């Protein structure tokens, strides 16, 4: 069990060692530039598309006739398309880029054949593209988190396998002896994702099972995807970023291994908890609920570790916007983890099942936790990879604040409204019309919150476009600053 042994010693700090280390890291950053940009820019385009489709989805939820003349733009199509864009388009691309970067950097091993990774990005994004068009033309599935049509599964699996192999090769070829928590999480996530995806695609589309085995497989996949994949990569990002950004080590690093063990061993078992009350044997649901409770070990250790490390570094958070993104992500990890463990308990689930509380939990996990952490990662990584500062640094706090306001406006109304909806749903003396009205009113918060979130995405976009423009300028015309300085000198 060397892999999850005690915390590795920091590398030697003598001047020679430090300069060699920074030279190696600079080499890694240079080598990953092309695939990293490919993944992040693809994710960014999906983020913009998802911003628009999210707005459509949320607005239609209380204005059903808004843009409803044709099937492709009706609620039943844009809602799954939005979710697929957010999960497979935006979040996965960011996870690929950042995961590759961190595993290469911690191993101090430059990426080999980066052009092949760009091919992998083309496969993945081409597949997701075809899938989204498929959803809009009616080839969608009835399963949450597997809305994409089955025929794109081989294409995106090919892209995914490529990236996974590169991550694992980078881990095998690492030049550093130490193995850090971020590496365990990343390797585990990249090992698990292709596997769970393959199982789900095979059991749903290649050898489709009949009957309620289908929702069983789909929910197993959804639970595994959320925790084994997004949970692993998100935790890895936080384990890497927080010490870098706060200048302090992780508070209780020695406990990290228990959190990791809990996630890897129990992460794939949690999905069936959502089937509670459905046409399934009780043991299948009980296993899901129990493993959700086991995951509390992961949520509590990581959540408290991250939040504790940030608050133990006095003054580190104030003025450090990127660390504040990580802080919001850590807090959301803890809250969405608690929600995932406690909501399936039968007495609570009886009320919240089928209500918009589920949407609140989903949003807190995917956006509040994973996306916020991924934004922190990109804000930290891109200036280092491009050797170029963010041109509009004041837009980073604007992104953070709008995202936080948006998150609060989305999550709290959905959670409170969902509880009211569930109580009303279970009381047959309340007419169903009243139940629908209750839920609809609370959904207004989500539509408003999403507008704030879109504004944040625009702030991010502005910085992203400008940093690339600045970089292009400095590459194409390296002497420009000098030329301008001379011109100004002549003018005065």
Q: How far is the CB of 291 from other proteins (least distance, A)?
A: 8
Stretch that binds other proteins, among 281-289, 294-302, 333-341, 367-375 (CB under 8 A): 281-289
Query: What single string gives the DSSP state of each residue in 184-230?
Result: HHHHHHHHHHHHHHHHHHIIIIISPPPTTHHHHHHHHHHHHIIIIII
Q: Any contact of residue 282 with other proteins (CB under 8 A)? A: no
Could you say which residues in the range 339-358 bind other proteins, by CB under 8 A?
346, 350, 353-356, 358
Stretch that binds other proteins, among 30-38, 182-190, 376-384, 461-469 (CB under 8 A): 182-190
Work out the number of other CB atoms within 10 angstroms of the CB of residue 345: 15
Q: Applying CB under 8 A, which of residues 112, 175, 244, 437 lies at the interface with other proteins?
A: 437
* Token digits of residue 279: 């046409």
Work out the number of other CB atoms within 10 angstroms of the CB of residue 68: 12
Q: Applying CB under 8 A, which of residues 171, 230, 379, 452 lies at the interface with other proteins?
A: 171
Q: How far is the CB of 209 from other proteins (least distance, A)?
A: 5
Is the CB of residue 82 less than 8 Å from the CB of residue 132? no
Stretch that binds other proteins, among 185-193, 300-308, 379-387, 469-477 (CB under 8 A): 185-193
CA gap 226, 339 in Å, rounded: 13
List Cβ neighbours of 461 (8 Å cut-off, separation of 6 or more). 44, 48
Q: Which is nearer to other proteins, 144 or 470 (CB)?
A: 144
Q: Which is nearer to other proteins, 103 or 331 (CB)?
A: 103
Closest by Cα among 216, 205, 172 to 191:
172
| Residue 479 falls in which region: left (phi positive, over 0), alpha (psi -120 to 50) or beta | alpha
* Token digits of residue 340: 């995932």
Q: How far is the CB of 338 from other proteins (least distance, A)?
A: 20
Within 267-394, residue ranges assigned H as helices are: 282-294, 296-312, 321-342, 346-352, 357-363, 372-386
Convert residues 197-226 into a mask of x (bound to other proteins by CB under 8 A) and - (unbound). Answer: --x---x----xxxxxxxxxx--x---x--
Stretch that binds other proteins, among 95-103, 167-175, 311-319, 404-412 (CB under 8 A): 167-175
For the chain, what is the largest distance between any 2 Cα atoms, rounded to a whole number of angstroms?
84
Could you say which residues in the range 283-302 bind other proteins, by CB under 8 A?
284, 287
Q: Which is nearer to other proteins, 213 or 312 (CB)?
A: 213
E strands of 74-167, at which residues? none
CA gap 18, 198 in Å, rounded: 43
Q: Is the dihedral of CA 375, 144, 232, 96 positive or negative?
A: negative
Q: Which is nearer to other proteins, 251 or 351 (CB)?
A: 351
Is the CB of residue 358 less than 8 Å from the CB of residue 352? yes
Stretch that binds other proteins, among 55-63, 307-315, 324-332, 446-454 (CB under 8 A): 55-63
Work out the number of other CB atoms within 10 angstroms of the CB of residue 182: 23
Q: Any contact of residue 311 with other proteins (CB under 8 A)? A: no
Could you say which residues in the range 221-250 bind other proteins, by CB under 8 A?
224, 228
How many residues are listed for the chain in this entry? 492
Q: Applying CB under 8 A, which of residues 31, 93, 141, 371 lies at the interface with other proteins?
A: 141
Q: Which is nearer to other proteins, 261 or 408 (CB)?
A: 261
Could you say which residues in the range 363-422 bind other proteins, by CB under 8 A?
none
Q: Applying CB under 8 A, which of residues 21, 34, 55, 139 lies at the interface with other proteins?
A: 139
Q: Applying CB under 8 A, which of residues 32, 47, 51, 60 lies at the interface with other proteins?
A: 60
Q: Any contact of residue 253 with other proteins (CB under 8 A)? A: no
Q: How far is the CB of 431 from other proteins (least distance, A)?
A: 9
Work out the number of other CB atoms within 10 angstroms of the CB of residue 378: 23
Q: Any contact of residue 438 with other proteins (CB under 8 A)? A: no
CA distances from 168 to 9, 163, 171, 186, 435 (A): 23, 9, 5, 9, 50
**Residue at token pair 């609920």:** 289
Number of residues that bind other proteins (CB under 8 A): 86
Could you say which residues in the range 259-278 bind other proteins, by CB under 8 A?
261, 264-269, 272, 274-275, 277-278
Q: How far is the CB of 44 from other proteins (least distance, A)?
A: 27
CA geometry: angle 91, 94, 95, nearest 5 deg: 80
Q: Applying CB under 8 A, which of residues 7, 74, 461, 474 lies at the interface with other proteins?
A: 74
Q: Which is nearer to other proteins, 152 or 187 (CB)?
A: 187
Convert residues 93-132 into a mask of x (bound to other proteins by CB under 8 A) and - (unbound). Answer: ----------------------------------------
Q: Which is nearer to other proteins, 226 or 425 (CB)?
A: 425
């Amino acid at each position: 069990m060397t892999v999850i042994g005690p915390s590795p010693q920091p590398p030697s700090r003598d001047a020679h060692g430090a300069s060699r280390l920074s030279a190696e890291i600079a080499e890694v950053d240079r080598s990953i530039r092309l695939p990293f940009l490919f993944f992040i820019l693809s994710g960014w385009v999906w983020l913009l598309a998802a911003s628009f489709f999210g707005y459509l989805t949320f607005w239609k939820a209380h204005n059903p006739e808004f843009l409803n003349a044709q099937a492709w733009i009706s609620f039943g199509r844009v809602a799954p398309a939005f979710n697929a864009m957010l999960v497979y388009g935006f979040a996965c691309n960011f996870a690929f880029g950042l995961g590759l970067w961190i595993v290469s950097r911690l191993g101090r091993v430059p990426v080999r054949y980066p052009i092949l990774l760009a091919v992998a990005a083309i496969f993945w994004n081409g597949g997701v593209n075809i899938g989204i068009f498929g959803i809009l033309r009616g080839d969608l599935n009835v399963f949450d988190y597997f809305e994409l049509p089955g025929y794109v599964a081989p294409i995106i699996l090919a892209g995914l396998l490529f990236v996974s192999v590169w991550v694992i090769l980078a881990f095998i070829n690492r030049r550093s002896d130490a193995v850090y928590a971020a590496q365990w999480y990343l390797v585990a996530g990249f090992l698990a994702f292709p596997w769970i995806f393959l199982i789900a695609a095979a059991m749903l589309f290649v050898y489709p099972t009949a009957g309620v085995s289908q929702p069983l497989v789909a929910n197993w996949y959804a639970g595994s995807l959320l925790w084994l994949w997004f949970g692993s990569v998100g935790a890895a990002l936080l384990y890497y970023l927080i010490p870098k950004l706060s200048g302090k080590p992780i508070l209780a690093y020695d406990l990290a291994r228990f959190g990791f063990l809990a996630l890897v061993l129990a992460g794939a078992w949690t999905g069936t908890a959502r089937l509670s009350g459905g046409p399934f044997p009780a043991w299948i649901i009980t296993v899901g609920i129990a493993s959700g409770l086991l995951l509390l070990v992961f949520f509590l250790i990581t959540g408290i570790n991250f939040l504790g490390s940030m608050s133990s570094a006095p003054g580190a958070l104030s003025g450090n916007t990127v660390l504040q993104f990580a802080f919001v992500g850590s807090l959301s990890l803890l809250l969405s983890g608690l929600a995932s463990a406690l909501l399936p308990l039968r007495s609570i689930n009886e009320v919240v099942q089928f209500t918009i509380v589920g949407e609140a939990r989903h949003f807190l996990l995917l956006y509040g936790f994973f996306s916020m952490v991924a934004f922190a990662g990109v804000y930290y990584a891109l200036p280092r990879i491009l050797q170029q500062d963010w041109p509009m640094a004041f837009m980073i706090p604007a992104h953070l604040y709008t995202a936080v306001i948006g998150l609060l406006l989305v999550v709290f109304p959905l959670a409170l409204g969902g509880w009211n909806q569930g109580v009303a749903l279970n009381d047959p003396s309340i007419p169903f019309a009243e139940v629908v009205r209750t839920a609809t009113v609370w959904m207004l918060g989500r539509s408003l919150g999403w507008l704030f979130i879109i504004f944040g995405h625009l702030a991010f976009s502005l910085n992203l476009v400008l940093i690339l423009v600045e970089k292009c300028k400095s590459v194409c015309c390296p002497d420009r600053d000098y030329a301008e300085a001379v011109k100004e000198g002549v003018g005065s």
